[in-house]
Structure 1
Amino acid sequence: MSTKNVDVALIGGGIMSATLGTMIKQLQPDWSIMIFERLSDVGQESSNPWNNAGTGHAALAELNYMPEAADGSIEPTRAVKINEQFQVSRQFWASLVEQGILPHPTSFINPTPHMTFVRGEDNVDYLRRRYELLKNEPLFAGIEFSDDPKVVYQWAPLLVRDRQKGEKIAATRVPSGTDVDFGSLTHELFDYLVANGATLRLDTDVKKLKKQKDGSWNVSVRERIGNTPYTVNAKFVFVGAGGHALPLLQKSGIPEIKGFGGFPISGKFFRTDNPAVVAEHHAKVYGKAAVGAPPMSVPHLDTRVVDGQSSLLFGPYAGFSPKFLKSSSWLDLPASIRAHNIGPMLAVARDNGDLMKYLIGELLASRKKKLAALREFMPTADPKDWYLITAGQRVQVMKKDAKKGGVLQFGTEVITAADGSISGLLGASPGASTAVPIMLDLLAKCFPEEYPAWEKQLGKLIPSLGTQLNEHKRQAEKTLESTAEVLELTRG
């Protein structure tokens, strides 16, 4: 059986592989790229618009990026960092639109205000203090705060209508927020790659990864239709397979994956397509997470624009499945257990009783209880308008910790071999929204010899590269203005 040689193998047809492939094609158009996707189309798991929040995470509304400490203090460092990362992605997308690589911005990104909504005196006080910290940060320009129900009603009437008189509420609003269809963006990036010489293999399972003496990797695959096996030899491999990245990296045998485990969390959303309801709400509204709930379970009432059609989502309602992907095996979790990660996994189970209690409660929750949670946001919600859809699987990272034995990490983690020949992405939110800065870091780490020569071209794609926009007010204003113009977004 002959072996095909390529420069780059991308495993997984999601936004991460699409982003990395597009960067490489811009930087090294002569490099050969092959993409493997186990399903019959790209962007069907975590990148699918109905499998993720599509927020365009910029920390404009997500309170979990600015938690309140035990002493009551809050600070904006992480929120500013997340926003910085999103601006990098936004600049990259704008550059691709200007080149014609992305055909039209409204096919994947649309202006949608980002709001935070809280109830109760303590939460109102917290939100006011958060606003005071953020209002002078250049990347949060235009943020508004109000605890006046009449003002909140103007911003989002469904949050206030029929609410009990005298209830303490407050909201913040950033008009320049976005809704992103990462499924559409993924398709458009792969269309560009294939049109420029990359090979896309759909319905193809990666079965084995074996390092060769010359430092390259043999990628053993099997076509799901016809069951035909073959091998591709790649100088560099990226594993961007969502929840399935963990078992694939384990198969590679690289020592850097030792000690890592995965905890899958599934979920559902309420969705409505009723035009009368959808027309009254144009915003992504985030609240506060329940005690013991993971950050990805922060409740939100979201406008979603998919294929030009607006809908509303509310959720997520967390659940549990041992699958690492919606379309994968029930044996994923037990099959991922190794001698090197069982200790950290048991330590996580020991130290996360609140999370276990929360997940069990969510699993047992009736439709009536789920509707009650929706009505805390939208008192007038009519059960006839809303139906449940299943969200994507998220595999949270569990890893070794010197003090605790193991910790559960919310966020993303890039695992890279010491020689940079293979790398993979574990974890979840903010994930897709920060794909571009994540892939920039990966390029610098995996291609240290080439990266200095690439920086000039990268600087054209991302003008703020190497700087912190939030520390330079005029540059931040200019960048927000220029990307808003290209992407047809609301300006701050």
Structure 2
Amino acid sequence: MLKSKVDVLLVGGGVMSATLGTMLARLNPSLRIALVERLDAVALESTDGWNNAGTGHAGYCELNYTPQQPDGSVAIARALAINAAFEVSLEFWSTLVEQEALPSPRHFINRTPHASFVWGEDDVAFLRERHAKLSAHHLFEDMEYSEDAETLRAWMPLVMQQRAAGQKLAATQVKYGTDVDFGALTRSMVESLQKQANFELLLNRSVKDLRQLANGRWRVSLSDGEVVDASFVFLGAGGGALPLLQKSGIPESKGYGGFPVSGQWLVCNNPEIAKQHYAKVYGKAPLGAPPMSVPHLDTRIIDGKPALLFGPYAGFTTKFLKRGSFLDLIASVKPDNLKSMLVAGRDNMDLTRYLIGEVLQSHQERMDALRRFFPEAKESEWTLANAGQRVQVIKHGKLEFGTEVVTSQDGSLAALLGASPGASVAVQAMMNIVERCFRERLQDAGWQKRMKEMIPSYGDSLVENADLLRSVRARTLSTLGLS
């Protein structure tokens, strides 16, 4: 039985592990870091370009981040937090580009306007109020709003085809929205890590067991018989993180459950149509739909090639990973989370019925949904493709739609659970893990200095400091070619 000893073991070869590994390696180049991935390459599950929306989630176009309250007002706090978190990601990537730890920005990020589009009196009134509140804040001061048909036609020509004269329409737009190929980004970060002597990539191996020893270190058994002795373990395996967290046995894992949701896209196979649309146009989610199912007509650049997608169409499966097992959901049910799972199931029957209905949709029904955005869409020019898996967190009997970090009390293990905004806020999430799990080391002046070098806004609030935000944004838009 082989045994290796590392300071940091990253489980899962996605954007979260790659981000944390890159951050820690820069904070302390002497750390011994290993990344274990069960597939034959990194970034093949949720991080792959075809398995996620590719939207740099900043709250510009996603209407579910600004819910309408019973009194008609629009809540913007979550959109502000997500926008600031994405700015932190842009800062980190800018630093890596400047230091040539990442390739040309066009390899992984492209400027793609972010637009929200609605129709009907009520939804237009909602969007108008949303714009008024958001644009009054410095984070969203560049957001444009229009109800003028000619302006909307310039922003989104496909969407405006065959619209009835006099129909009440409205849209907002932020020109420097982004499309991010998180797969390409992750592969580039891992390639950069592989150039360092203290980093090891372990492919085609999965974690079979992990337990904490009396000395506080972790004994992690891999599928090939190798055992890794690690001081710190990060579970960043997407939908596979929950089962591993349960195996760890830490008290903080108790009560957590997971609800898997799958996704599909309609992909345009006519390049001439795809050339006519260059934006991410988001609408309002159908009643009862999960937040990840907000419909959008979406310009993508995946592996350097342009594509036009519409969706996602949600579905239900018992798998926790796209290449997982149909037994994943059943295996995740434990005595400590059974009640929580049952309560969540009882309270979300509408969601379950919605997901079943999505699965049973015909191609014609999916096309009908597309035509609400692109009236002239032809069935022969669109094909269905499977997207990735997401596992929504069930906590204390409540189904959560978001990203959650779980850490052990001693800071020796951390796990990332949940879905959207996911990859877009990877840097903020991993920064939080460093603050929780490497608290003492982060007090060191050297670590503080290096963290500020990576993320210039570190320690300050982009939500509250308008001058800092404008300075940070000017740099990232220029460095990443988004101006």
> Does the pair score TM above 0.5?
yes
Structure 1 runs not aligned, ≥5 long = 223-227, 401-405
- Aligned pair partner of 2:479 in 472, 476, 486: 486
Could you tell me which amino acid in structure 2 is paired with residue 427 of structure 1? G
1:281 match = 277
Q: 1 CA distance for matches of 2:92 and 2:302?
A: 21
- Aligned pair partner of 2:350 in 342, 347, 354: 354
CA RMSD of aligned residues (A): 0.9
2:202 match = 201
Give the drift of 1:307. 2.2
Give the drift of 1:141. 2.5
1:420 match = 411
Structure 2 runs not aligned, ≥5 long = none
CA contact (8 A) 1:273 1:310 kept: no
Could you tell me which amino acid in structure 2 is paired with residue 445 of structure 1? R
CA contact (8 A) 1:291 1:354 kept: no
1:212-291 equivalences under 5 Å are 212-222=213-223, 228-291=224-287
Could you tell me which amino acid in structure 2 is paired with residue 120 of structure 1? G
2:437 match = 446
CA contact (8 A) 2:49 2:303 kept: no
2:125 match = 125
1:312-327 equivalences under 5 Å are 312-327=308-323
CA contact (8 A) 2:117 2:169 kept: yes
Q: 2 CA distance for matches of 1:250 and 1:470?
A: 35
TM-score by length of 2: 0.98
Q: Report the 3-state secondary structure (helix = DSSP H, G, I; strand = E; otherwise coil) of the residue aligned with 1:123.
A: helix
Q: Report the 3-state secondary structure (helix = DSSP H, G, I; strand = E; otherwise coil) of the residue aligned with 2:18.
A: helix
CA contact (8 A) 2:242 2:417 kept: yes
Deviation sequence 1:291-335 (CA, Å, 0-9, x none): 111101100111000122111110011001100000011100000
Deviating above 4 A after TM superposition, structure 1's stretches of 4 or more consecutive aligned residues are none
Could you tell me which amino acid in structure 2 is paired with residue 476 of structure 1? L
Which is further off, 281-290 or 453-462?
453-462
Question: Does residue 138 in structure 1 map to residue 138 in structure 2?
Answer: yes
Give the drift of 1:2. 3.7
CA contact (8 A) 1:11 1:239 kept: yes
Question: Does residue 463 in structure 1 map to residue 464 in structure 2?
Answer: no
TM-score by length of 1: 0.96
Q: Report the 3-state secondary structure (helix = DSSP H, G, I; strand = E; otherwise coil) of the residue aligned with 2:325.
A: coil
Q: 1 CA distance for matches of 2:347 and 2:101?
A: 47
1:294-373 equivalences under 5 Å are 294-373=290-369
Q: 2 CA distance for matches of 1:360 and 1:123?
A: 27
Give the drift of 1:273. 4.0
Question: Does residue 409 in structure 1 map to residue 362 in structure 2?
Answer: no
Q: 1 CA distance for matches of 2:413 and 2:346?
A: 33
Q: 1 CA distance for matches of 2:229 and 2:413?
A: 12
Percent identity, aligned pairs only? 52
Deviation sequence 1:41-85 (CA, Å, 0-9, x none): 100001001000010000001011100011211121111110000
Q: Report the 3-state secondary structure (helix = DSSP H, G, I; strand = E; otherwise coil) of the residue aligned with 2:50.
A: coil
CA contact (8 A) 1:304 1:313 kept: yes
Q: 2 CA distance for matches of 1:50 and 1:166?
A: 38
Deviation sequence 1:359-393 (CA, Å, 0-9, x none): 12112211100000000000011111111110100
1:403 match = none
Aligned residues between the structures: 480
Give the drift of 1:274. 2.0
Q: 2 CA distance for matches of 1:262 and 1:128?
A: 36
Question: Does residue 475 in structure 1 map to residue 461 in structure 2?
Answer: no
CA contact (8 A) 1:112 1:282 kept: yes
Deviation sequence 1:96-141 (CA, Å, 0-9, x none): 0000000111100000000000111100010001011111211112
